[in-house]
Structure 1
Amino acid sequence: MASSDTIAYLRSRYLPDHLIGEILSKRWVDNAIPFSALVLTIVILGSIIPDFLSLSSLSDLARQFAEFGLVVLALTVVMISGGIDLSVASVFSLAVLFSLIGVNVYELPIPVVLAGILVMGICCGAINGLLVGYLRLRAFLTTLVSLIIFRSIYEIVFVKMSTSMMSGFSMSDLWLFIGEGTVFGVPTSLVITLVIALAWHLVLSRMRPGWRLTAVGGARRSAFNAGIDVRFMVFLTYVASGTMCALAGFLFAARLGSTGSDTGVGLEVQALTAAVLGGTAIGGGRGSVAKAIIGSLLVLMLTNGLINLGISGPITSTILGVILLTAVFVDMRWQKHRHRILAKVYVSPAYLSLPPAPKVDAPGSPYVLNDRLRSVEIIGLGQIEGPEDVILDCDDNLYCGTRHGDIVRFFGPDHKRSEVFAHIGGHPLGMAFDRSGNLLVCIGGMGLFQVAPDRTVTKLTDETNRSWTSVVDDSRLRLADDVDVAPDGRIYFSEATIRYEQEDWATDALESRASGRMICYDPKTGKTHTEIPKLVFANGVTMCPDGQSFMFAESWTCSISRYWFDGPKKGKTERVISSLPGYPDNINRSSDGNYWLALLGMRGPALDLAMRMPGFRKRMARRVAPDQWLYPNINTGCVVKFNEKGEILDNLWDLGGRNHPMITSMREHRGWLYLGGVSNNRIGRYKLPDADPNWCAQDAYWGPRK
């Protein structure tokens, strides 16, 4: 290997360019900057302010956070939906006032006061929700008006009740426990806030209402078209906001036991600053509980630190205002340029040195060119699109998938008549029959599915075990590809890549990084696990007759390997074919005990050279339109037969791709070879001169039907 190749290899292997792209693509990356700012703030203020991090200071901070964090969380929920609630401070102030009136003046039981305060918060939120959600008034102006109205009510009632309210004092143990008590050393109010925060985290990240809320904020029209009741969702966010602000005011009243004319003044600016600093998008569709917590702590730390440093209130408010403007500017610029930055760094080609391609035009070559597929019979011309894989049952019925999400069945023996056997969605790719006659299907972007003989569709699995060291969330199946079944019923299937979806296969080819894998699903336990990781576009898979191993293809390395999942060689992988003239796709058995292999495209010297130049391919991805990238030659179709030693026994070509360019699958059945192609609108049928006219793969796997 030349020194330049060595440098390119080491750089692409050990410098984690692709990890940078993966990190930037994560939703939690928005938390990185505010979290770093929070840590930096703690370090700086802790070093210049005596006792800033003392136990008593942290206890006070925890109680303040319990109240302020609820207000920020309330505002965050509204902002995620694409709205804004400027009345949070006024609702908070009203809750403080009426809590003290109920406890100190009328001496009502604490649960009754709490219930009344929550009802008040619900009513305030419902007013905003009705005006913004159902009457479709502008959120900013509407909540600004409600801020003024609620604040006016506070000042009117405060003037009338201030004397009697301040002269009273509650001796309720429950009231003292809420305001000053602890649970295992943690302030009671903080425990309440953390429970609510956890509940909201589950709603936003794990439950349908949270997903719908994010959808409403991200694209309101699309959410409506998807069947989401947008007005009701917006209404609920304001109700939730009013409720949490009311609870925050109740906790504040229990802690201080008093209120003043300035209670809550400026709180909406602080809460908005905290929400934006935490990473919640002003435009909606992006936000989380973690962002609200980080922003709340950051603003509280800054505010308390500035007060401890002797900086006056107006200057503190000015500083927070400047921080808010800066955060809004950074957020807008980041959202505007994030995808552009991600597009530049996400695609990270690897160094891939392929063995020399076998000669296809030399005399005596096992891959010698021919046009034997030029005259294949055509099935279903124009009736189907994208039959990536084809398969036949014992009754000679022919099945294939289409890009419209259907599995089409052509009735044997002439395959003139067809029907939609099942509608699954996605694009059905590899298929196999199990012992019970169920049709197993890999669906790009959806996982592994089963279609029973009665046409019942069942999802078997759409995720596998998460790798502890993987930055990519590799638990979700992105591109399940080909599938086969072991004698004991275990299902093995390939996933081509964990980085890209089906429509981005060309980008994965450009990268040629080991991001594919072989996966096993066990129907007996219902568990799925990764059997072989780090494969370069794992593709075709077929069981070997020994029942202990299978053949699999890695498309971009132009190779075929054999893996033992049972027996004395369990866990061992051996290379069967190290260099093919094209890129292998599906593999299937032949009637003579050998294997058929489809080549989806042919290699070329320019692309082989580019595989050893990751920097060149990265520049190409940045500067050249995808339709002008170097591609495999997919205009020529080819099928080869090989044995377990890797020897090529036969080959079938369609030079120029007149009938079958980009062949992705083939099945032998009763003396015929059936051809599928992911870009074709037909199925081909070629008569094999020396094949067993009675051989059926389903019988060969599971024995003749009784």
Structure 2
Amino acid sequence: MTLSDSIVRWRYRLVPDHLLGEILTKRWVDNAIPLLILACVMAVFGSLIPDFFGAASVSNLMRQWGEFGLIVMALTIVMVAGGIDLSVGSIFALGNIVALTLMHVAELPVPLVVLFTMACGAAVGLVNGLLVGFLRLRAFLTTLVTLIIVRAVVDMILLKYAVAIAAVFPDSDFWFFFGEGYVLGLPFSVVLTIGVAIVLHLVLSRTRAGWHVLAVGGSRRSAHNVGIPVRRVICATYVVSGTLAALAGVLFASRLGAAGADIGIGLEIAALTAAVLGGNSLGGGRGSAAKAVIGSVTVMIMVNSLVRIGITSGGSSLLLGLVLLGAVMIDVRWLKNRQKFLSKVYVSPTYSALPAAPATDGASPYALNDRLRPVEAIGLDRIDGPEDVILDANDNIYVGNRTGDIVRFLAPDYDQQEVFAHVGGRPLGMAFARDGSLVVCIGGMGLYRVTMDREIQKLTDETNRSWFSVIDDSRLRLADDLDIAPDGRVFFSEATVRYEMHEWPVDCLESRGNGRIICFDPNTGTTRTVLKNLVFPNGICMVHDGQSFLFAETWACRVSRYWFDGPKKGTVETVIGDLPGYPDNINRASDGTYWLALVGIRTPALDLALKMPGFRRRMARRVAPDEWLFPNINTGCVLRFDESGRVIETLWDRSGDNHPMITSMREHKGHLYIGGILNNRVGRLKLDGVDETWTAKRSYWGQS
């Protein structure tokens, strides 16, 4: 290795470039800028205002935030569904005057005051919801009209009952507890708002109703097409918004006990500024209670601090307007360019130097030949993408297809086929368990079992999460091959934790070591990762000692052996380290050796590019994906090797006509059955000089 290669190798080993892309994929990244703005606001005003962090100052600010926070969350709910509610300030004023009238004039019990006031807010929200949701009027204009009408109603109530309200002082500790009481040392309004925020977070992130709101905000047409009642969801968000705004009015009435014509004026602008500043999208489909809390705290600190340092109300409104303009600009630009920026930084190639490719001519064990030319096609044009192939004791063939089915070809002539099970995801590696059930790796779903009665059962779809992983690597993205130990433990490979099923070639571009091997123990129901940082681990095959298995790392062009039991437990040894192509599935042969599929053949251009991570990064950013350098998967190969790594024979199809692309093969009763994830057939090749009674099932479980 040259000095320059060593420098590049260590640079990409020590600098975790991929972390930036992984961080940007996290949902909490949207809160990073709002939190930074909040910290800056606190630092600036904390240095300008004496006793800014004093107990009295903080307590007064918290009470005001309790009311304002409810209004921001009311507006956030509507925004998440793709709407806008400019009437929240007027509904807040309505809640204040109605609560005071019912308490001071009608002298109703406090629970009824709260209930009736919230009902008034819900009624206004229902009007908004019916007009916007069911009559499909524009939200901006509709709620603007509602703002004017509700404000007029507030003024009329104020003219009629203002004197009566001012003349009465209710003698109710329970009433004043809403505005002045404490719970665990915190103002009641703050505790109530935090509770509402928690409920809102759980609803949006954990319930079907919340998912419906997010779906409607993301795309109303798509939400309608999947059966979501869009109009009802939109109407419900306005009802909830009106209810929360009225509840904030109750807290304000209890705290100050005052009624004025200016209450709530301009509050909708402050609430909108807070909601957008917190990271809630004006376009809908993106928002949370946490964003509402962050934005409301920031705006509340700004407004109160400007008053304390002597800025007039006009100056305060001007600043809020400028902040809202900046927040909208950031929201629009970020929403428009986030995926574009993420696509440029997420793919993070690293340095990968493969050993020299062995020769494929002359006396080389990998010498080219045409031994796959006699392969006969089973199910030609009747199957799409049989990645793995396996046979049962009755000689029936099982393969997965691209549409989520496990298809069974019936012996002996295989002319008839049937859907054995519809699993939904992409069936990949398969193995028969001792009880006859079929265990399957399903891309994007995890590890599943199909019983002899065709019942589909999930075994596991997650494993233990890594302590220092930025992404959630507990979820299984691409479980692709498996084998079963004598005690029933299932060892299966997950090719990559960074990419989904349809993105598997991008992992080759990275060659970072994003894969792992996982063990599921049916005896305990537990799942754990046993090997990490593997370069697209793929085929897995149990060795005959019952204590170890062979596994292939596709982009590393090597086959290794791992001991999971016995005196060498935990040890990994390389069996073949310099394959001429990219290994895929591994399966047992009848003479105690092992079959290995090469999904593609190495090329000098890609081998060189693997040493040039900077080149591959630029390629990913500047070139269309269909023009990237990829492995040559047009030439398939099957080889047979022993436990020491000695290659015994190879089977090629040089023309690429008969069976061009190979991901798996399975020996059964004197024939080799071949699958390929991009093929439209199952291949069958007659083998010479082998035990024609041998089956893999008998090799594993001793059954005929």
Q: TM-score range by the shorter chain?
A: over 0.9
Q: Which runs of 5+ in 2 are unaligned?
A: none
1:396 alignment partner, SS class: coil
Aligned residue number for residue 237 of structure 2: 237
Q: CA deviation at 1:14?
A: 2.0
Aligned residue number for residue 626 of structure 1: 625
Aligned residue number for residue 318 of structure 1: 318
1:432 equivalent in alignment to 2:427? no
Q: CA deviation at 1:526?
A: 2.6
Aligned residue number for residue 167 of structure 1: 167
Q: CA deviation at 1:43?
A: 1.2
2:649 alignment partner, SS class: strand
| Matching of residues 650-661 of structure 1 within 5 Å | 650-661=649-660
Q: CA deviation at 1:239?
A: 1.0
1:62 equivalent in alignment to 2:56? no
Aligned residue number for residue 646 of structure 2: 647
| Matching of residues 534-573 of structure 1 within 5 Å | 534-573=533-572
Aligned residue number for residue 137 of structure 1: 137
In the alignment, residue 305 of structure 2 is paired with which amino acid? G
In the alignment, residue 442 of structure 1 is paired with which amino acid? C
Residue by residue over 1:74-132, the C-alpha shift from the partner in whole angstroms, topping out at 9 and shown as x without a partner, is 11111011001111111111111111112222221111111111211221111111111
2:555 alignment partner, SS class: helix
Aligned residue number for residue 686 of structure 2: 687
Residue by residue over 1:331-369, the C-alpha shift from the partner in whole angstroms, topping out at 9 and shown as x without a partner, is 1111112122112111110100111111111x3211111
TM-score, reference length from structure 2 = 0.98
- Count residues in correspondence: 704
Residue by residue over 1:164-183, the C-alpha shift from the partner in whole angstroms, topping out at 9 and shown as x without a partner, is 11121122121122211111
- Inter-partner Cα distance in structure 1 for 2:662 and 2:346: 30
Aligned residue number for residue 351 of structure 1: 351
Q: CA deviation at 1:218?
A: 0.6
| Matching of residues 534-613 of structure 1 within 5 Å | 534-613=533-612
- Inter-partner Cα distance in structure 1 for 2:237 and 2:549: 54
1:329 equivalent in alignment to 2:312? no
Q: CA deviation at 1:418?
A: 0.5
- Inter-partner Cα distance in structure 2 for 1:644 and 1:61: 73
In the alignment, residue 133 of structure 2 is paired with which amino acid? G
Residue by residue over 1:179-205, the C-alpha shift from the partner in whole angstroms, topping out at 9 and shown as x without a partner, is 111111111111111111111111111
Residue by residue over 1:431-480, the C-alpha shift from the partner in whole angstroms, topping out at 9 and shown as x without a partner, is 11111211111111121221111111122222222222111221221111
Q: Which moved more, 1:139-148 or 1:463-472?
A: 463-472
Residue by residue over 1:526-557, the C-alpha shift from the partner in whole angstroms, topping out at 9 and shown as x without a partner, is 33222211111111111122222111111000
Q: CA deviation at 1:405?
A: 0.9
2:637 alignment partner, SS class: strand
1:514 equivalent in alignment to 2:494? no
Aligned residue number for residue 85 of structure 2: 85
> CA 1:524–1:97 in 2, change beyond 3 Å: closer, same or farther?
farther
Q: Which moved more, 1:475-484 or 1:283-292?
A: 475-484
Aligned residue number for residue 701 of structure 1: 700
Q: CA deviation at 1:562?
A: 1.1
TM-score, reference length from structure 1 = 0.98
Q: Which runs of 5+ in 1 are unaligned?
A: none
Q: CA deviation at 1:27?
A: 2.1
In the alignment, residue 289 of structure 1 is paired with which amino acid? A
- Inter-partner Cα distance in structure 2 for 1:134 and 1:568: 71
- Inter-partner Cα distance in structure 2 for 1:243 and 1:19: 43
Aligned residue number for residue 466 of structure 1: 465
Aligned residue number for residue 186 of structure 1: 186
**Counterpart contact for 1:668–1:674, Cα < 8 Å:** yes
**Counterpart contact for 1:387–1:401, Cα < 8 Å:** yes
1:125 alignment partner, SS class: helix
1:490 equivalent in alignment to 2:489? yes
- Inter-partner Cα distance in structure 2 for 1:531 and 1:114: 58
Aligned residue number for residue 264 of structure 1: 264
2:655 alignment partner, SS class: helix
1:383 equivalent in alignment to 2:382? yes
- Inter-partner Cα distance in structure 2 for 1:567 and 1:101: 81
1:504 alignment partner, SS class: helix
In the alignment, residue 273 of structure 1 is paired with which amino acid? T
1:674 alignment partner, SS class: strand
- Inter-partner Cα distance in structure 2 for 1:459 and 1:81: 34
In the alignment, residue 196 of structure 2 is paired with which amino acid? I
Aligned residue number for residue 274 of structure 2: 274
Aligned residue number for residue 202 of structure 1: 202
**Counterpart contact for 1:281–1:287, Cα < 8 Å:** yes
Q: Which moved more, 1:659-668 or 1:22-31?
A: 22-31
Q: CA deviation at 1:11?
A: 2.1
- Inter-partner Cα distance in structure 1 for 2:694 and 2:22: 48
- Inter-partner Cα distance in structure 2 for 1:216 and 1:527: 38
- Inter-partner Cα distance in structure 2 for 1:317 and 1:376: 79
1:270 alignment partner, SS class: helix
1:104 alignment partner, SS class: helix
- Inter-partner Cα distance in structure 2 for 1:141 and 1:613: 57
- Inter-partner Cα distance in structure 1 for 2:260 and 2:543: 81
Q: CA deviation at 1:635?
A: 1.1
| Matching of residues 116-155 of structure 1 within 5 Å | 116-155=116-155
1:46 equivalent in alignment to 2:46? yes
Q: CA deviation at 1:509?
A: 0.6
In the alignment, residue 419 of structure 1 is paired with which amino acid? E
1:449 alignment partner, SS class: strand
In the alignment, residue 542 of structure 1 is paired with which amino acid? C
**Counterpart contact for 1:91–1:121, Cα < 8 Å:** yes
Q: CA deviation at 1:609?
A: 0.9
**Counterpart contact for 1:635–1:656, Cα < 8 Å:** no
1:583 alignment partner, SS class: strand
Aligned residue number for residue 456 of structure 1: 455
2:476 alignment partner, SS class: coil
- Inter-partner Cα distance in structure 2 for 1:699 and 1:71: 69
Work out the percentage of aligned pairs sharing the same amino acid. Answer: 61
Q: Which moved more, 1:308-317 or 1:539-548?
A: 539-548
- Inter-partner Cα distance in structure 1 for 2:469 and 2:158: 58
- Inter-partner Cα distance in structure 2 for 1:169 and 1:526: 65
Residue by residue over 1:228-263, the C-alpha shift from the partner in whole angstroms, topping out at 9 and shown as x without a partner, is 111111111111111111111111111222221111
What is the root-mean-square deviation of aligned Cα atoms in Å?
1.2
- Inter-partner Cα distance in structure 2 for 1:117 and 1:435: 67
2:449 alignment partner, SS class: strand
- Inter-partner Cα distance in structure 1 for 2:487 and 2:111: 62
Aligned residue number for residue 287 of structure 2: 287
Q: CA deviation at 1:646?
A: 1.0
Aligned residue number for residue 417 of structure 1: 416
